[in-house]
Amino acid sequence: MIATEATMEKARIGIVGLGWISQVFHLPILTKLPDVEIACVCDRDKTRARALAEKYGIKKFYTDYNEMLAKESLDAVDVCTSTDAHKEVAIASLEAKRDVFVEKPIARKLDEAVAIAESVKKNKRKLMVGMNHRFRPDTMMLRSFIENKELGKVFYAKTGWLKRPSSDGAWFSQKEMSGGGVILDMGIVMLDLALWMTGYPEVVRVSATNYAHKTKVEDSSVAYLTMKNGSTITIEVSWNFHIENELYYCNIYGEQGSGKINPLMIHKEMHGNVVNVTPVKTDTSQNALKKSYENELKHFIGSVRGIHPVISTAQEAVQRMKIIDAIYRSAAKGKEIYFK
C-alpha cells in the first residue's frame, strides 16, 4: 500500500525532443529524481527514441507527440525540441491539460511567445521556461546578497558570454529553426540573468549592434539597455571571439558594493574600506552548470506537484522576447529603440 501511494505521488513526465540537451542533462537528471516517473519519450527519429527508452528503462516511446498526448496519462511534458517546434508542442500539451517545461528560448519570435502565454492562461496550466543559469549556486548566492540590500542600490549590470569560433552546422545557427543567432542562444540567457539579479527594472530604451562573420545569423552582439530607474545593463555575446578560454560573467555594481559570478566574488564598503565578503564555499564552473539543471528541473517537478509556484513563467518570457525583439530592431535599423 505504501509503495502504491509513493508511486501515485510521482509526477509522470513525457519528454519530447531527444537531442543534446535531453541526453546530457534532462534524461540523466530526471531519471534520478525520486518523485518523477519518465512515462515516455518522443522524437521524430524512431531509432533514437527506441535506443534512449531502452537505455533509461522507459516503457514507451513515440515519434508523434500528438499520439503521445492522446495515449499517455501525463502530469507534464518536457519540451526539448529545436526552437521551431516549441510553440506547436507546448500549445498541444497545454490544450491536453498538461503542465509544460520548455527549454529556452520559449519561441523564435515575440508573437509565438505571446501565443504560448495566452494558451497557458486559457488552459489554466503551469509553464516554466528553462532559464537554468538562475539556478547556479553562485548566481543564487549573489542574488540573495542583492535582495537583502547588501550592495545598496544597483545601478549597473555588466554581462557577457564569449566563445571561440565553433562549427556552424548546428540547428541553432539556422534562422528558420532557431529564430536567430547568438542572441537567442546565449544573449537571452545573459539578459534574463541581469534582469533577474536586478529585480526586473522596466526598460525604456535599447541600443544594439550585431555582427555576422561566419554564419547567416548574428554570431556576435553587443547591447546596451537603459532602465526607467536610471540603471543600465550591458550584454556582449559571441560564438566567434578569438580568445584562449570561454568567458562567462555577470558583474553587478551597487552604491555600497559589487558582486560577480564565475567565480563568485562579493565586495562591500564597510567603515570606509572595501571588504571581501564572499562566502567561503563556492562551486566550480563545470559543477555549477550541472547543479543549475538539477536545481531547475527539481523546481519544475515541485511546481507540478503543487509544492511551490513556477519560476521563469511564460509571462516573463514574453517580456524578455519584447526586449530581444527591440535588440534585433535596433541592430537592423542602426538606431536606439524606445519602449512605450
What domain range is 87 assigned to?
A: 2-132
Could you read off the pLDDT of 145-193 as tens digits, one per residue? 999 999 999 999 999 999 987 655 576 677 777 778 999 999 999 999 9
Do 190 and 208 fall within a single domain?
A: yes
pLDDT tens-place string over residues 272-325: 999 999 998 766 666 888 999 999 999 999 999 999 999 999 999 999 999 999
Instruction: Decide if 298 is inside a domain.
Output: no
Q: What is the CATH number of the domain that holds 221?
A: 3.30.360.10
Whether 331 and 218 have beta carbons less than 8 Å apart is answered as: yes
- 256, pLDDT greater than 60: yes
Q: Give the pLDDT score at 175.
A: 73
Q: How confident is the model at residue 1 (pLDDT cuts 50, 70, 90)?
A: very low
Q: Largest Cα–Cα distance in the chain?
A: 66
Residue 294 lies in a domain: no
- pLDDT for 5 beyond 50: no
pLDDT for 3 equals 36
- Is the same domain home to 124 and 140? no
Per residue in 103-126, pLDDT (tens digit) is 999 999 999 999 999 999 999 999
**Which pLDDT does position 214 carry in this prediction?**
79
Q: Are strands 127-130 and 220-227 parallel, antiparallel or unpaired?
A: unpaired
Dist CA 29 CA 25 (whole Å) = 6
State pLDDT tens for residues 186-230.
999 999 999 999 999 999 999 999 999 878 899 999 999 999 999
Q: What pLDDT score does 278 carry?
A: 94
Do 16 and 281 form a contact (C-beta atoms < 8 A)? no
Q: Considering 102, 132, 162, which residue would you say is the last residue of a domain?
A: 132
Task: Give φ, ψ of 211 to 5 degrees.
Answer: -130, 140
Q: What is the DSSP letter of 256?
A: S
* 125 and 144 assigned to the same domain: no
Residues 68 and 184 in one domain: no
Q: Is residue 196 part of a domain?
A: yes
Question: Is residue 323 one of the residues assigned to a domain?
Answer: yes
Quick one: 9 and 118 in the same domain? yes
pLDDT at 2 over 70: no
* Whether 44 and 164 share a structural domain: no
The answer to the question of residue 296 being in a domain is no
Name the E strands within the chain: 11-16, 36-42, 60-62, 76-79, 99-103, 127-130, 154-162, 203-211, 220-227, 232-238, 247-254, 257-260, 265-270, 273-276, 337-338
**pLDDT of 34-80, one tens digit each?**
999 999 999 999 999 999 999 999 999 999 999 999 999 999 999 99
Phi, psi of 269 (to 5 degrees): -85, 120
pTM above 0.85, yes or no: yes
> Do 270 and 332 belong to one domain?
yes
**Domain identity same for 226 and 323:** yes
pLDDT for 4: 36
Residues 234 and 113 in one domain: no
Residue 286: per-residue pLDDT = 66
Give 327's pLDDT tier (boundaries 50, 70, 90).
very high
Select from 101, 104, 162, 154 the least CA-distant residue to 128.
101
Domain boundary among 132, 150, 171: 132
| Assigned domain for 21 exists | yes
Residue 267 sits in the same domain as residue 256: yes
- The pLDDT value recorded for residue 7 is 40
CATH of the domain at 66: 3.40.50.720
Instruction: Give the residue from 132, 147, 167 where a domain finishes.
Output: 132
- pLDDT for position 6: 38
Residues 68 and 199 both lie in one domain: no
Q: Is residue 300 part of a domain?
A: no
Query: In this structure, is residue 225 part of a structural domain?
Result: yes
Q: Answer yes or no: do 65 and 188 share one domain.
A: no
Domain total of the chain: 2
